[in-house]
Amino acid sequence: MTLSDSEPAPAVDPEIRAERAHLAASRAALRRMRDDVLATETPAVFGDWVSTQVLQQARALRAEALEDIPDTPLFFGRLDFEAGAVFEDGDGHRTADRIHIGRRHVHDEHGRAMVLDWRAPISVAFYRATPQDPMRVRTRRRYGFDNAARLTAFEDESLTDGAPGGDLLGGELLTAEIERPRTGPMRDIVATIQPEQDDLVRAALDTTLCVQGAPGTGKTAVGLHRIAYLLYAERKRLSRTGVAIVGPNRSFLSYIRNVLPALGEVDVDQTTVRELLETVPVRRVDDTGAARVKGDARMAEVIRRDLWSQLREPAETLVVQRGSRRWRLYPDELRELTDELRGRGVAYGAGRDLLAHRIAHAVLSRMEAAGEACDDRTHDQVRRSREVKAAVAAIWPKADPVKLVLGLLTDADRLASAADGVLSPEEQAAVMLPGRPRGPKSARWSEADLALIDEAAALIRRPESIGHLVVDEAQDLSPMQCRALGRRAASGSATILGDIAQGTSPSATGDWPTLLGHLGKAEARLAVLDRGYRVPAQIIGFAARLLPSIAPGLGAPVAVRRSSGALRLTPARAGSLPDAVADACREGLKREGSVGVMAADADIADLHRALGAAGLDAGVLGETDDALEAERLVCVPASLAKGLEFDTVVAVEPSRIVAAEPRGLHRLYVVLTRAVSALHVVHAEPLPEPLR
């Protein structure tokens, strides 16, 4: 129906009108705050181009963080407190105690808060107050918005009228948010974070957290919101040391990339383990046996032994010529210096530098004893002399991590001596590199090799640590990858997120304490999330039939949603499978949201072609970074499904997904738990046994 000029516009509730006015005023205030930042002159630091650039970059980042994202409402809630709980003016005269809560802090030109940041301590009550413990809140208000971010509704919850609160906080607006048809990349959940999640989001920076959570319990959401929270609460500390999130692959990172910017955080490194460790190009996938041995923590001992076996017994007397005089250090003295350094547990590279210093020091002591005047310059000259350099090179040769691992994995005798008593002969044979690479560039490295190179690199020089590391899908990390990540958070803390039942890598962990031990974070706080916000109960019930086989002892999440008709199984004849898949896609596309067609990786190309022939345009995940944004219908190789969600999932031929890899049942569990509204299983072969 369209309104003609003569018809009056429908009356807007005065409360909504007032809230809209506050929203508009807040938006204007945010614009002013951003303009102010942009208008500040960054002082040109005289003659210091780098400092000027740093200041300008900081200003640009601040301005970017204050950008108003048009389809993201600036506030989403309001708390009305008991009078005097929050604000009190100078005369002791109490004013209205009301705060609007939003994604960032907004103030007017007098500095008065118009919207308070959800991360501020006072906002905690929005997420935790209940009628049993109202935290001085009288009323909690939540807002509803249309797709254009126009405020259209609100919902008040009285915390003082004695009515018992529900199990979940958020009432109908929460239900609407959870049931919202999914399209494109992930969104933040800042308006509806639940108490059990908020408790993890706001854990102190020094706490290393490990969250085991079934599919859809909000682990990724918790990890992202925790980053935003920590950057707010500990901005000073973290601006020096940094924050990073490590996800399983690029498609996943692309799926989550909008969440932190929507929360005003634009300066977080989002990466994969492979990218983090990639010092040589990866050109090969290891077979399961090799990957398992290379990922085993025993490899650390093999590498350590090989590196240190390069030290040589001092055999020759060092003679340093200074003017007409010669100064000697005998092999015994050199051995003593070397042993002392080794005993101190220094990194290999640092030990090498220190040896040169120690030798120079010993020579100088001799010179001084003979009455020569020495100073720092003399020390430097001796340390850098040809003779001292040659002695250090002979005793403590330079080491290169890539060459070390290449040498170890291409020379069976060298490996045998480093791995003696650590790896069995079969295990040693399994890790050897194929072919006869002539050098690091011609070797065909695998992803598991990267962690070995990183181990060697860290033994030579310890890497810098970052302030906080969030690792998602951590159950798939090998012990060697854990060590690599743990080193990067050695002086910081970490948030480790995962689900043992979704472990698909050859080295996937069977329990968290072991993995945390490899990370060097044995003291982590272990938490469990078990309320599922994504997958409807019927689908979870179906997928959970796999649990006794893949993760005995782990339960299914308690689904927050039921949706009738969410699960469909369609048996098809072999020849008509593509038609049945196309029909299922058409069915899914009738709804509002995204449709993910998931199949064994090897079947995706054929499936994509068949859909095209049936007149269905589909993207292929992994081929382009924006497949999730560009298309509503996306073909998803099973190996890339982890962490993602689609409104409808069409799971094609489960038995082939299972047969494709050793942990195929785990992979199938991941695939079956990606659907928000509907799961349609299409198969010509019999379903895997637990699903029959």
Ligand X SMILES: Nc1ncnc2c1ncn2[C@@H]1O[C@H](COP(=O)(O)OP(=O)(O)OP(=O)(O)O)[C@@H](O)[C@H]1O
In the complex, minimum distance from the CB of residue 201 to ligand X, in angstroms, rounded to a whole number: 10
Cα–Cα nearest to 199, from 518, 479, 531? 531
Stretch that binds ligand X, among 217-225, 227-235, 333-341, 656-664 (CB under 6 A): 217-225
d(CA 375, CA 368): 10
Near ligand X in 534-573, by CB under 6 A: 534
Per-residue contact string for residues 142-171; x = within reach of ligand X by CB under 6 A? ------------------------------
Among 673, 678, 680, 682, binds ligand X (CB under 6 A): 673
DSSP state of 222: H
Stretch that binds ligand X, among 215-223, 447-455, 514-522, 572-580 (CB under 6 A): 215-223
- Give whichever of 271 and 381 is closer to ligand X, judged by the CB atom: 271
Ramachandran category for residue 28: left, alpha or beta (phi over 0 → left; psi -120 to 50 → alpha): alpha
215 is in an annotated binding site: yes
Among 72, 197, 385, 655, binds ligand X (CB under 6 A): 197
In the complex, minimum distance from the CB of residue 424 to ligand X, in angstroms, rounded to a whole number: 35
510 is in an annotated binding site: no
- Give whichever of 559 and 581 is closer to ligand X, judged by the CB atom: 559
160 is in an annotated binding site: no
- Give whichever of 220 and 338 is closer to ligand X, judged by the CB atom: 220
In the complex, minimum distance from the CB of residue 255 to ligand X, in angstroms, rounded to a whole number: 9
Among 114, 221, 341, 572, binds ligand X (CB under 6 A): 221
d(CA 399, CA 455): 13
Stretch that binds ligand X, among 70-78, 209-217, 229-237, 516-524 (CB under 6 A): 209-217
What order do you get walking across the sheet with 209-213 strand by strand?
Answer: 269-272, 243-247, 468-471, 493-498, 209-213, 525-529
Near ligand X in 591-620, by CB under 6 A: none
Question: Could you say whether residue 134 binds ligand X (CB under 6 A)?
Answer: no
Question: Could you say whether residue 479 binds ligand X (CB under 6 A)?
Answer: no
In the complex, minimum distance from the CB of residue 225 to ligand X, in angstroms, rounded to a whole number: 9
Q: Quickly list DSSP for 561-590.
A: ---TT-EEEEE--GGGHHHHHHHHHHHHHT
Question: Could you say whether residue 177 binds ligand X (CB under 6 A)?
Answer: yes
In the complex, minimum distance from the CB of residue 449 to ligand X, in angstroms, rounded to a whole number: 28
In the complex, minimum distance from the CB of residue 568 to ligand X, in angstroms, rounded to a whole number: 21
In the complex, minimum distance from the CB of residue 688 to ligand X, in angstroms, rounded to a whole number: 20
Give the 3-state secondary structure of 22-40.
Answer: HHHHHHHHHHHHHHHHHHC
Among 123, 192, 254, 446, binds ligand X (CB under 6 A): 192
In the complex, minimum distance from the CB of residue 213 to ligand X, in angstroms, rounded to a whole number: 5
Per DSSP bridges, beta strands 75-81 and 137-145 are: antiparallel
- Give whichever of 182 and 608 is closer to ligand X, judged by the CB atom: 182
Q: How many CA atoms lie within 13 A of 140 on its CB side?
A: 24
d(CA 608, CA 630): 16
In the complex, minimum distance from the CB of residue 643 to ligand X, in angstroms, rounded to a whole number: 4
Composition of the chain by helix, strand, coil, percent to 5: 45, 15, 40
Report CA Rg, the chain: 31
Question: Could you say whether residue 256 binds ligand X (CB under 6 A)?
Answer: no
219 is in an annotated binding site: yes
216 is in an annotated binding site: yes
d(CA 181, CA 464): 43
d(CA 536, CA 179): 10
- Give whichever of 72 and 192 is closer to ligand X, judged by the CB atom: 192
- Count residues binding ligand X (CB under 6 A): 21
d(CA 546, CA 665): 7
Cα torsion through 541, 543, 548, 550, rounded to 10 = -160
Among 72, 123, 220, 254, binds ligand X (CB under 6 A): 220
d(CA 638, CA 657): 7
Phi, psi dihedrals of residue 341, rounded to the nearest 5°? -65, -45
d(CA 616, CA 152): 36
Question: Could you say whether residue 533 binds ligand X (CB under 6 A)?
Answer: yes
- Tokens (6 digits) for 5: 């000029």
Say if CB 294 and CB 286 are below 8 A apart. yes
Among 157, 447, 476, 645, binds ligand X (CB under 6 A): 645
Burial degree of 41 (CB within 10 A; 0-12, 13-18, 19+): exposed
In the complex, minimum distance from the CB of residue 547 to ligand X, in angstroms, rounded to a whole number: 14
d(CA 41, CA 281): 43
Per-residue contact string for residues 481-520; x = within reach of ligand X by CB under 6 A? ------------------x---------------------
Among 216, 351, 578, 619, binds ligand X (CB under 6 A): 216
Among 189, 203, 259, 430, binds ligand X (CB under 6 A): 189
389 is in an annotated binding site: no
Say if CB 40 and CB 66 are below 8 A apart. no
Among 79, 114, 193, 595, binds ligand X (CB under 6 A): 193
Stretch that binds ligand X, among 190-198, 347-355, 366-374, 440-448 (CB under 6 A): 190-198
Per-residue contact string for residues 66-105; x = within reach of ligand X by CB under 6 A? ----------------------------------------
Question: Could you say whether residue 194 binds ligand X (CB under 6 A)?
Answer: yes
In 3-state terms, what secondary structure has residue 527? strand
In the complex, minimum distance from the CB of residue 642 to ligand X, in angstroms, rounded to a whole number: 7
| Residue 234, number of CB atoms within 10 A of its CB | 17
Give the 3-state secondary structure of 40-74.
Answer: CCCCCCCCCHHHHHHHHHHHHHHHHHCCCCCCCCC
d(CA 663, CA 505): 7
Say if CB 662 and CB 533 are below 8 A apart. no
In the complex, minimum distance from the CB of residue 120 to ligand X, in angstroms, rounded to a whole number: 19
Q: Which residues bind ligand X (CB under 6 A)?
A: 177-178, 189, 192-194, 197, 213, 215-221, 499, 533-534, 643, 645, 673
Binding residues for ATP: 213-220
